[in-house]
Amino acid sequence: MNLSPAPLDRELARDTQRLLARLGLPGLSRREALRRCLFGAAGLFLVNGGSLRAQVPTRPARARSVIQIWMWGGPCHIDTFDPKPDAGYDYCGPLARALPTNVDGIQVGELLPELAKQADKYAILRGMTHGHNGHETASYMVQTGHPPGGREVFPAAGAVTAFFKGHGAGYTGLIPPYIVLTEPQGRFSESGFLGNRYKPFATGGDPARTPFQVEGIVAPGLSTERQRSRRELLHRLNTLGRALPGDATLQAHYAAEQQAYELILGDAGKVFDLSQEPDALRDRYGRNTFGQSCLLARRLVECGVPYVTINYQGWDTHKQHFPTMRRKLPEMDRGFATLLADLADRGLLDTTIVWWSGEFGRTPRVQWEPPWNGGRNHFSRVFSAVVAGGGFRGGRVVGASDKTGEELRDRPIYPADLLASIYELLGIDPAAKLPHPQGLEVTVLPTAGESGPGGGVLREIM
């Protein structure tokens, strides 16, 4: 046995080449060979893990990727995309003005001047409704389309997209197919019964800082040189690996490790390096966590990543509502508007759905009484969401609330309606089966019998 340190990745690549040659796929570059090997190995995991999956049937797709701006906590609809300037101080507080937009007849809140210039790019869904006022049940409902309280945990839209548009379905990137910037939203944005493999990769860190420390990919204080020599040491000390050449368990381990190193040391991880972007553009997005997350989301979809969630926290404004709006909305306005413009400039908006929504809206009538002293509570009877790109027509409004924003007046849109529309544009059949660990028949979205009320797919804007 050769105990001299033959670098294991070279060994692995050679084994892979040999394997591929046997499979009739000769002449691949080392990286390509490795990449294919990784996906082959990934397929094996699925079989081993018991979640059998046939090749995913995808339908013709208009959209390739989704950027989900998740307004965690629940943003107020009447202060953003459903302004009620005539409702009076009890409702509007100090934010009583509405702004005209570049589309006749559409108005947005006064703190969104940049988005007002882009209304032709997005559609405002003012008829969103579901009736769940708890953060977690509402998040589950909005992100899965399934009513909470059942005994199954369905996967969120990101995991569903990762399943249908990810590595099993033609995506060949090294970046995981479902990314969350920067912190995970917790258990209701997760993969449910689809399992680990479809969980989001949360970057951690802060893209507004230099360097952006992507958890696991960019380590503080470790030079590339030291990373390389550490890796070499790891190979030299792999005594068990040398005693077990060709062991399938270890091959899977090396394949995962190789892919990790592509992100740490290879080119794939460079997508997270925002210093490659012009300073002026970075300024336009806003030099804050949200703005730079929007920029990063654009870079990720440019690389083909199918689903990126920007988990934008801080919208649960029970107290200090108006000061918070004045602080946060300009930041949101700028980041979101620049994202739309930048995607459009690069021709990416045609294939990228941008979905802005929280789990619900907020009570239109301001709670001036103590202890809230000017706050807004959770409100799910009617609220707003925004969609743009990927086949959604801009410059439209779908659904309406009444004159105080408290009742649904026209065109209800349930979470399952919105998700069905997004899935349709992505080429995912809402009635397609998902693999279930117990072999139960489960579909992407509830079937007509299970779902309760629905308003239908958003044909108006597709």
Chain positions contacting another protein, by CB under 8 A: 1, 3, 5, 45, 48-50, 136, 150-153, 174, 176, 184, 186-187, 193, 195-197, 199, 201, 204, 213, 215-217, 219-220, 222, 226-227, 229-230, 232-234, 236-247, 249-250, 252-253, 256-257, 259-261, 263-264, 437-440
In the bound state with another protein, the residue whose beta carbon lies nearer, of 197 and 396, is 197
d(CA 232, CA 332) in angstroms, rounded, equals 45
Report the 3 state secondary structure along 3-53: CCCCCHHHHHHHHHHHHHHHCCCCCCCHHHHHHHHHHHHHHHHHHHHCCCC
CB of 441 to another protein, least distance (A): 11
CB of 270 to another protein, least distance (A): 15
128, containing H or E segment:
strand 122-128
Amino acid identity, position 234: L
In the bound state with another protein, the residue whose beta carbon lies nearer, of 179 and 348, is 179
In the bound state with another protein, the residue whose beta carbon lies nearer, of 201 and 383, is 201
Tokens of 61: 């797709």
**357 forms bridges with which residues in the sheet?**
70
CB of 440 to another protein, least distance (A): 8
For residue 170, count other CB atoms closer than 10 A to its CB: 12
In the bound state with another protein, the residue whose beta carbon lies nearer, of 100 and 439, is 439
CB of 210 to another protein, least distance (A): 16
For residue 175, count other CB atoms closer than 10 A to its CB: 21
In the bound state with another protein, the residue whose beta carbon lies nearer, of 62 and 236, is 236
In the bound state with another protein, the residue whose beta carbon lies nearer, of 63 and 217, is 217
Q: What SS3 state is found at 443?
A: strand
CB of 253 to another protein, least distance (A): 5
CB of 54 to another protein, least distance (A): 18
Amino acid identity, position 129: T
CB of 420 to another protein, least distance (A): 23
Tokens of 417: 């309606």
CB of 16 to another protein, least distance (A): 16
Tokens of 58: 């995808």
In the bound state with another protein, the residue whose beta carbon lies nearer, of 196 and 276, is 196
**124 forms bridges with which residues in the sheet?**
386, 397
**Within 13 Å, how many C-alpha atoms sit on residue 33's CB side?**
22
In the bound state with another protein, the residue whose beta carbon lies nearer, of 118 and 185, is 185
CB of 386 to another protein, least distance (A): 28
Cβ pair 200, 158 in contact under 8 A: yes
Cβ pair 314, 362 in contact under 8 A: no
What values do phi and psi take at 13, rounded to 5?
Answer: -60, -40
DSSP line for 400-412: EE-TTSSSEEE--
In the bound state with another protein, the residue whose beta carbon lies nearer, of 13 and 123, is 13
CB of 304 to another protein, least distance (A): 17
Tokens of 357: 């929504």
CB of 121 to another protein, least distance (A): 34
In the bound state with another protein, the residue whose beta carbon lies nearer, of 117 and 236, is 236
How would you classify residue 345: left for phi > 0, otherwise alpha for psi between -120 and 50, otherwise beta? Answer: alpha
d(CA 351, CA 301) in angstroms, rounded, equals 9
In the bound state with another protein, the residue whose beta carbon lies nearer, of 47 and 281, is 47
d(CA 8, CA 235) in angstroms, rounded, equals 6
d(CA 32, CA 402) in angstroms, rounded, equals 57
